[in-house]
Amino acid sequence: MSAEMTQRGTGGGTQHGRMPYRDLRQEESINPGVRRRQRLASWKTVPESLNFTVEENEVWRTKQAQLQYTNRNRWWTSSTSTTFKRWVLTMVVGVLTGVVGIFITYFTQYFTRIKFAAVRDVMDREAAGDLARGAAFFAYLGFNVFFVCVATLMVWIEPVSAGSGIPEVKCYLNGINIPRIVRFRTLACKALGVLFSVAGALPVGKEGPMIHSGSVIAAALAQGTRSTSAFGTDWRVLEFRTDPEKRDFVACGAAAGVATAFGAPIGGVLFALEEGASFWSTALTWRCFFCGMITIYTLYVVRNTENLWGSADSTKMFSFGEFTSFRDGMANFSVWELLLFIVLGALGGLTGALFNGMNQGSKRVIQCRFNVSLVPFGCPDDEYNEVASLFFTDSDTAIKQLFHFRESGVFNQDVETFSSLAVATFYVPYFLLACLTYGIAVPSGLFVPSLLSGAALGRLVGHLLHRLDAQSGTFADAGTYALVGAAAGLGGMARMTISLTVILLEATGNVANLLPLMLALMAARWVGNVFNHGLYDVHIRLKRLPYLEEDAPRVALERSASAAQCMSRDVLTFPPLATVGDVYDTLANCKHACFPVVARDDGRLAGTIMRHTLCMLMKHRAFAAPGEDPKDRDDLRTRALSPLLSSALFERAYPKFPEVDELELSDADRGCWLDLRPYADTAPFSVQDCCSVQRAYRLFRTLGLRHLCVVDARNRLRGIITRKDLDEPTLDEKLSWVNDDADALESFSVEAHPSTMARFAI
Amino acid sequence: MSAEMTQRGTGGGTQHGRMPYRDLRQEESINPGVRRRQRLASWKTVPESLNFTVEENEVWRTKQAQLQYTNRNRWWTSSTSTTFKRWVLTMVVGVLTGVVGIFITYFTQYFTRIKFAAVRDVMDREAAGDLARGAAFFAYLGFNVFFVCVATLMVWIEPVSAGSGIPEVKCYLNGINIPRIVRFRTLACKALGVLFSVAGALPVGKEGPMIHSGSVIAAALAQGTRSTSAFGTDWRVLEFRTDPEKRDFVACGAAAGVATAFGAPIGGVLFALEEGASFWSTALTWRCFFCGMITIYTLYVVRNTENLWGSADSTKMFSFGEFTSFRDGMANFSVWELLLFIVLGALGGLTGALFNGMNQGSKRVIQCRFNVSLVPFGCPDDEYNEVASLFFTDSDTAIKQLFHFRESGVFNQDVETFSSLAVATFYVPYFLLACLTYGIAVPSGLFVPSLLSGAALGRLVGHLLHRLDAQSGTFADAGTYALVGAAAGLGGMARMTISLTVILLEATGNVANLLPLMLALMAARWVGNVFNHGLYDVHIRLKRLPYLEEDAPRVALERSASAAQCMSRDVLTFPPLATVGDVYDTLANCKHACFPVVARDDGRLAGTIMRHTLCMLMKHRAFAAPGEDPKDRDDLRTRALSPLLSSALFERAYPKFPEVDELELSDADRGCWLDLRPYADTAPFSVQDCCSVQRAYRLFRTLGLRHLCVVDARNRLRGIITRKDLDEPTLDEKLSWVNDDADALESFSVEAHPSTMARFAI
C-alpha cells in the first residue's frame, strides 16, 4: 500500500510499507490530484507491455511441483506432451497461413480478372475510338474505386488492419501489447482489405499483410478458440495461454507469412529473429523453420492438387522468375562492376531515405484518400503503351518484366523492350504514388512497391550505362541492374539486412547474384541510415510506441547515467498483508501493471505482484477474515492467511483478466485482509541504483522484462524501471538536466566518486 | 579476506569481511589442507571463463567521463573512430581469411598433384604389370604416410590444432577460454596440418579447420600484433583488447571461415549466431555479414587475377556443381517423394547417431594412428575402378560425381555410371574410416566426409528405388537422392539446422531443392537426437568443458531447485580495505577469478573485484601507507586511499595479466593497505537465493556472465554461481540429494512455502 493511499484516507488498514521517498511523498501531498491526472493521461497514450517473464510465485511453484509429481517415472510426461502439442499447433499455423495466402492470391487474381473482363467487354461493345476508350477507362476507374472503397471499409471496421502490419508485429515481438493487433477480426479485415486494395490497382503489395496475417493466425491458435469465439467448442487441448508462448507463436506465424509471401522459409526465420526476438533461441529458430517448411509444403500440395502425385510445381506466391543469364552458374557481370552495384545500392539508400522522409510527412498531411489511386490512369494513350505495360498489370509481373525482358537493341541502340523514357515515366509517378499510398487507410504492403520502383531505377541505370558504352558491351544485362536496383530499393526503405538478403536470394532462386545483392543492400543501408531510420522504425516512432532498440540510447552513455537517474520514483507499493480496501483503492487510482511488495520492517524489496493477480484475488474473493492486523499471530510465519488460487484459474482468465472497476466489493469486504505473500514473485530482477543505464537496459531488453526494480545496497526499493523509462525520448528528457555543464567534467579527479564510496561501510 | 585465510594466519591484517557461512568455516577448519588440494585439483581441469561483461568500476567510469569530455561538440568522436576501426579490422579479417583459404586450397592441390605425378612416373618407368602396380602403390603409400606424418607433426607442435576446431570455437563463443585456441601458432599448425592431411588422402575435409582459422585470424588481429610477435612494430591503432570485442571478432572470423569454405557467406553468419552468440545482436550479424562478403569478394578478385577486370568466375573453395535437373526452376521430384526424403533424412539421423556414438568410442580407444589411413589402398584392382574413382580422388570431386553422374541405364538396368555395388563398397569402409580418422591427431574437418558418405547412402537408396520401379520412372534422379542423402548425413552428424540448410543451399546454388533439404535435415535431427547429441557436443562433453546449452538442464526444473541449492558456498571475499599481505595470500592459495567485496558492518554485497585487477594493483604498487586500520579517518568516505590506475594500463596488459607468483613483495609491502573500492564493480549482477535455477541460468547464459552473486533479502552475500556450477553434470550431482523422496511431494499444501514467508517481515 502506498503512502499516497494512506493520505487519501480510503484504506482501512493502519500499517503500510515504509515509502522511502520522502521528497516524493511531500510533493504528492502538495497537489496529489493534479499529479494523478497527469499520470493517468500519460498512461492512456502508452500501450501496455507484455509479460515475457514467468512469475515465480507460490502458484507457479505449486504447479511445477504438481507437474513434477505427476510426471514421476513416466516416459510421456506433461512437458513432453506440451512440447508435442506445441509442435502440432505450429504445424497447424503453417498450414493455415499457407491456406490464407492461397486464398488472398486466388481472389486477388479472380477480382482482377473480373475487372479486366468487364473493361474489355465495354471496349468491345462500344464502337472503336475515343468513346470506347473513355467508357473503358471509366469502367476501369469504377471498379478500382469500388475495390478501394471495400478495402477502406475493412479498415473502418478494424482500424489496426491498415498498413502492412509489420511495425505492429515488430512491436508485439518487442513486448508492446498493441490492442487488437492479434485478434481474429483484424485478420479477416486484413485479408479482405489487402485483397481488394491489390485488386483495386493500388501500388501496394500483399506481402507485408501476409506476414501480419500469419502472426494473427498463430496468436489466435495459441490463445485457443474461446476468446476468438469462432467456434462454440471448448477446445482446450491446444492452447498456450502465456505471453512468452504467444510471442513465440507470433514469431512462427511471421516466419510462415514470409514463407507464404516470398516462398522464402529461411528468410522468414531470419525475419522473425532479426525483427522480433531479442535473443537468439535455437528452439525458436527451429520451430520457425518447421513452421515455414510446413507452409511451403502446404503451398506445394495445394498448388499441385490438379496434378497431385505428379511433378512438383513452383511454390511461390511471389517469384522473380528464372534468371537465364545466371544459368551456367557463372555471374555475367565483371568484377569491377561490383563497384557500380555499390553505387546503385547507395542510390537505393538515398531514394529509400527520401521515401521514408516523404512517408513520414505524407502520413501526417494526407487527407484525400481516393483520388490518389486514380492518377496513373490519366493518360492511357497508345504513345505510352510501354508505361501502360508496367502500370496496367500486377506489380509482380511488372517486376519480372523489368528483370527479364531483353534489351534486344543493346548493341545497336535501335529497339529496346522498354525505352529509358518509358521506365523513367513509370518510375517517378510510381515512386510518389507508392509513398502516398502507404500512408492511407488500406491494408497495404511495401515490399513489392519498393522492389518495383527500385527495379525501375536499376534498369534506368543499366540503360544509361549501355548508352555510354554501346559498342564493347562491357556492362552486364539491364536485368541484372534491375535486380540489384530492386534490392537497393527495398534495402533503402526497410534497412533489414540478412533476412532481406535471404528473402531476395530465395525469391531469385539462384545464388550467383549473391555478392551484388549483398553489396547493394549494404550500401543502401549505410547511406539510408545517414538520413533517417528504416520505414518500420519511422512508423513506430510516428505512433510513439516505446519500442526498445537493441542498444541503449546514446544519451545514456554520453551522460554516464545511472539507473537511479532514469528510474520512475513514483512507485506504488504494497505491504505483504494489505486490506482489500487499500488494494482496491490503489488499483482504481492508477494503471500500474506491477507493484513491488516491500517488507514492513526496513522497506526492503521482498517481491513484486502483478495488477492482474490482485484483481483475480479480489474477484475470486481469496480474502482472510477482517479484523486487526494479524501480524502478531504465531502461525503467520508458515501459513498463508488466505486460500491459494490455482494456476489453472489464472490460465483460464488469460488474457482478459478482470478489471478493477468490474469488481463488486461490500464495505465488509473492504476490511478483509489479503495475503500477498504467496502471489508475489520473490526473486524479481533488480539492479543496484548505481548501475549504469546501459547495463540496466541490456538486462531489461535482452531478457524481455516488463519491469526492473532498482534497489540500494541493502536491497531497499528505490524505484522501478519500465519500458517507458528506457525509450529514447524519455531518456533524452530525463537526462537533459543532468551534468549539463560540461565544464564540470574538465577537472577529473583520481578520487573515487562519492556515490561509490558510500556503498562501502568502512 | 576470507575466514580461511585468517585461520592460516598468513595475513597481516586483523579485519576481514564477515563470512556468513559458519558451517563451512567449521568444516574448513577441520581439514583445510585436504579441501584446498581438492579444490586446486578441480580448478586445474576447468578452463577459465571469459569476461563478456564490462566491469563498471571507477576506472571504467573515469575513462567514460574522459571520453565524453574529449568528444564534446565533435562530429568525429572517439566512439565513431572506434566503430570505424572495428569495421576496417573486420574487413582485414575477411581478406586474410580468404587468402588463407586460397593458400590451403592451392597447396593441397599442389601436393596432391606432385603425389600423383610421382606415382605416374613410377608406373611409366617400370614395366607394365604387377611390379609397376606394386611400386606405384608403395610410392603412393609413401607419399601419404609422409604427408600424414607432417600433419601429425603439426599437432605435436600445437596440440590444440588437432581435429576440426569447431567444438573449440563453439566453446570460445560460449565463454570458455580454452588455452592457446586463438593463438597465431595454432593457426599456422592448423593450416599446414589440414593441408597435409587432405593431401595425404585422409578421409577428412578442410572446411572445419577453415572456420577455426578464420576465428584465429580475427582474434589475433583484435589482440593487436605485439602478443602475436609477428611484427616488431607497436601497431596500437587497430586493437580491441577486451573479451567481448574479441568474441565478436571471433564470430566474424568464423563466419568468414564458412564463407571461404563453402562460398556461403549467409550460412556463415548463421553458423556464427547459431553455434556461438548467445543473444541475437543485429550489429554483430551485420558485421559477420560484412566480413563474409569481403571474404567472398577477396576470393572473387584473387581467383580472377588472370582475367582480372574480366567476367567473374565461380568463387567457391567448395561447390556442389550445377544441378542441371533443376535448371528450369522446377524440381524434378514429385510431391509424394518428399515422404521418401523424410525417410532418407531419418536414415541419415540414424547413421549420424551411429557415427557420433562410434566416434565417442574411437576417440577413447584409438591408439595406432597411421595404419588407419592405409586401409583403402589394400586392393587397388581393376575390378573396383568405380570404387577407386571415389576413393582415389579428392572428396569434393567424389561428392560431385555422386550428385551429377547420370545413371545412363536407369530405365533398362544395363549400365550405370556407378553400380550400386560400387557405391556400397565405397560407403561402408569410408564411413568407418571417417569415423576413426576424426579421432586421430591431425587437423581434420568432418563436413566433407559426412556429406560424402551421406551422398553415397542417398545414391544407394536412389538406385534401389530405380530397381524397384524401373519402367515407369516415377522416381527422381539418383543425383537428387544423393543430394538429400548428403544433407541427411551432415545433419545427422552435426545437428545444426538453419545454418546448415543455408550452407547447403548456397553450396548447391539453387533453391529448387530447398524443401527436400529442409525435410531431410529436420528428420535427421529429430531421429539423431533420440540417440545422442551432435558431434560437436559429443566432443565438448568428452573434453568435459562446462559448455552452457541454451536451456537450463532438466534436473533444475525437475527438482524445483533454487539458486541457493546450486551456488558455490566456498566464497572467498575481501573487505573494502585490505592489506597487501592478506590479498596476496588469498590469491596465492586459490584460483578464483572473482572475489565479492562485502561491507564490514553487515556483510552485504558491495561489489565484486577481479583477480587480474588485484594482481595489477599489486604489480603497480597502488598501495596506501601501512599502519593501523584507517577506518576512522575522516576523509575516507570521499577519498580513495591509494592512487587510481588508468584504464589504459589494464588494456595494455590484456590478456596476459601478471600472475600472483610473479609479484615480488617485501615484508613492508605486506603491511600496506589496498583500497579496493574504486576497482570494484559496484553493481554486479545478482539474484536472490530463492530465485529458481532456471531464472539464474537464463540470466547467466543470456547475458554471458562469468559470475553471478547470490544474495539474501537484505543483499547479504550467500554464495556465487559460476559456469561450473551450472553445467549439467555438476547440477545433476548437486541436486541429486535434494528432495529425493518423491513421496514428500505427494502431500501438496495450499500453504506458501516457509522459505517464501521468511522473506516478508510481518
Q: How far is A758 from chain B (nearest CA, A)?
A: 7
Amino acid occupying residue B590: C
pLDDT tens-place string over residues B478-511: 788 888 999 999 999 888 778 888 888 777 766 6
On the question of pLDDT at B235 being above 70, the answer is no
Q: Given an 8 Å threshold on Cβ–Cβ distance, is A265 in contact with B518?
A: yes
**How many angstroms separate the CA atoms of B52 and B521, rounded?**
33
Q: What is the mean pLDDT of residues B712-734?
A: 89
Contacts of A308 in chain B (CB under 8 A): 335
Q: Given an 8 Å threshold on Cβ–Cβ distance, is B68 in contact with A557?
A: yes
Contacts of B637 in chain A (CB under 8 A): 754, 757-758, 762
Q: How far is B165 from chain A (nearest CA, A)?
A: 21
Domain A336-364+387-543: give its CATH architecture: Orthogonal Bundle (1.10)
B-contacting residues in A 687-706 (Cβ below 8 Å): 687-688, 690-692, 695, 698-699, 702-703
Q: Which helix (H) or strand (E) holds B149?
A: helix B130-157
Check CB contact of B1 with chain A, cutoff 8 Å.
no
Return all residues near A602 (Cβ < 8 A) that are at least 6 apart. Answer: A18, A714, A716, B714, B761
Cα dihedral value A215, A216, A218, A222, nearest 10: 140
On the question of pLDDT at B759 being above 70, the answer is no
pLDDT tens-place string over residues A507-526: 776 667 788 888 899 899 98
Positions of CATH 1.10.3080.10 in chain B: 82-304, 336-364+387-543
CATH entry 1.10.8.50 includes domain B554-626+645-744: no
User: What global pTM score does this model have?
Assistant: 0.83
The per-residue pLDDT for B305 is 59
How many pairs of residues across A and B have Cβ atoms under 8 Å apart?
358
Kindly report which listed range (A64-78, A346-360, A467-481) carries the lowest average pLDDT score.
Answer: A467-481
The per-residue pLDDT for A700 is 92
On the question of pLDDT at A308 being above 80, the answer is no
B735 confidence band (pLDDT: 50, 70, 90): confident
Kindly report which listed range (A236-245, A383-392, A551-560, A701-710) carries the lowest average pLDDT score.
Answer: A383-392
Mean pLDDT (chain A) is 76
**How many angstroms separate the CA atoms of B130 and B123, rounded?**
10
As separate numbers, helices (DSSP H) first and strands (DSSP E) second, chain A gives 32, 9
B-contacting residues in A 315-334 (Cβ below 8 Å): 315, 321-322, 327-334
Q: How far is B511 from chain A (nearest CA, A)?
A: 5
* Half-sphere exposure (Cβ direction) of B476: Cα atoms closer than 13 Å: 33
Contacts of A692 in chain B (CB under 8 A): 56, 683
Amino acid occupying residue A188: A
Q: Given an 8 Å threshold on Cβ–Cβ distance, is A761 in contact with B58?
A: no
CA distances from A51 to A244, A367, A679, B305 (A): 7, 38, 16, 57
Return all residues near A84 (Cβ < 8 A) that are at least 6 apart. Answer: none
Q: Given an 8 Å threshold on Cβ–Cβ distance, is A756 in contact with B58?
A: yes
The per-residue pLDDT for B709 is 95
Kindly report which listed range (A210-214, B71-75, B196-200, B353-357) carries the lowest average pLDDT score.
Answer: B71-75
Q: Given an 8 Å threshold on Cβ–Cβ distance, is B756 in contact with A638?
A: no
| Rounded percentage of chain B residues whose pLDDT exceeds 70 | 74
Most confident of A330-334, A477-481, B561-565: B561-565
The per-residue pLDDT for A591 is 87
Contacts of B328 in chain A (CB under 8 A): 322
Closest CA to A658 of A690, A626, A612, A708: A612
On the question of pLDDT at B721 being above 90, the answer is yes
Return all residues near B40 (Cβ < 8 A) that are at least 6 apart. Answer: B590, B591
Q: How far is B419 from chain A (nearest CA, A)?
A: 27
On the question of pLDDT at B60 being above 80, the answer is yes
Mean pLDDT (chain B) is 76
Q: Closest-CA residue in chain A for B645?
A: A750
| 3-state SS assignment for residue B19 | coil
B-contacting residues in A 192-251 (Cβ below 8 Å): none
Contacts of B90 in chain A (CB under 8 A): none
Closest CA to A393 of A150, A109, A143, A107: A109
ω into residue B655 within 30 of 0, thus cis? yes
Q: In the β-sheet with A707-711, what is the strand arrangement from edge to edge?
A: A686-688, A707-711, A717-722
**Nearest CB to B58 within list A631, A714, A752:** A752
The per-residue pLDDT for B185 is 87
Check CB contact of A514 with chain B, cutoff 8 Å.
yes
On the question of pLDDT at A673 being above 50, the answer is yes
Q: Is A127 exposed, middle or buried (0-12, 13-18, 19+ CB in 10 A)?
A: exposed
The per-residue pLDDT for B308 is 42
Contacts of B605 in chain A (CB under 8 A): 713
Q: How far is A209 from chain B (nearest CA, A)?
A: 24
The per-residue pLDDT for A472 is 63
CB B263 within 8 A of CB B293: no
Q: Given an 8 Å threshold on Cβ–Cβ distance, is A682 in contact with B756?
A: yes
CA distances from A99 to A302, B282, B414, B502, B589 (A): 8, 32, 46, 26, 67
The per-residue pLDDT for A609 is 94
The per-residue pLDDT for B393 is 67
**Nearest CB to A762 within list B515, B631, B690:** B631
pLDDT tens-place string over residues A263-307: 888 888 888 887 766 666 778 888 998 999 899 888 877 776 654
A-contacting residues in B 596-615 (Cβ below 8 Å): 597, 599-602, 604-607
CB B524 within 8 A of CB A315: no
**Nearest CB to B510 within list A336, A509, A756:** A509
Q: How far is B249 from chain A (nearest CA, A)?
A: 18
Positions of CATH 3.10.580.10 in chain B: 554-626+645-744
Q: Given an 8 Å threshold on Cβ–Cβ distance, is B285 in contact with A293?
A: no
Q: CB atoms < 10 A from the CB of B284, how many?
A: 21
Contacts of B511 in chain A (CB under 8 A): 505-506, 509-510
The per-residue pLDDT for B44 is 42
| Rounded percentage of chain A residues whose pLDDT exceeds 90 | 16
Check CB contact of B519 with chain A, cutoff 8 Å.
yes
Q: Given an 8 Å threshold on Cβ–Cβ distance, is A511 in contact with B505?
A: yes
**Nearest CB to B702 within list A644, A703, A713:** A703
Q: Given an 8 Å threshold on Cβ–Cβ distance, is A510 in contact with B509?
A: yes
Residue B381: left if φ>0, alpha if ψ -120 to 50, beta else—which one? beta
- Return the CA Rg of chain B: 30
Q: What HEC string does B611-677 produce? A: HHHHHHHHHCCCCECCCCCHHHCHHHHCCCCCCCCCHHHHHHHCCCCCCHHHCCCCHHHHCCEEECH
Q: Closest-CA residue in chain B for A697?
A: B703
Q: How far is B555 from chain A (nearest CA, A)?
A: 11
Q: Given an 8 Å threshold on Cβ–Cβ distance, is A756 in contact with B65?
A: no
- Which one is the CATH code of B82-304: 1.10.3720.10, 3.30.70.260, 3.90.1150.10, 1.10.3080.10? 1.10.3080.10
| 3-state SS assignment for residue B686 | strand
A-contacting residues in B 393-432 (Cβ below 8 Å): none
Q: Given an 8 Å threshold on Cβ–Cβ distance, is A293 in contact with B515?
A: yes
Owner of C-alpha cell 577459465:
B48
pLDDT tens-place string over residues B640-662: 777 778 888 888 888 788 988 88
pLDDT tens-place string over residues A110-155: 898 888 888 888 877 765 566 777 787 888 888 889 998 999 899 8
CB A711 within 8 A of CB B76: no
Q: Given an 8 Å threshold on Cβ–Cβ distance, is A699 in contact with B685?
A: yes
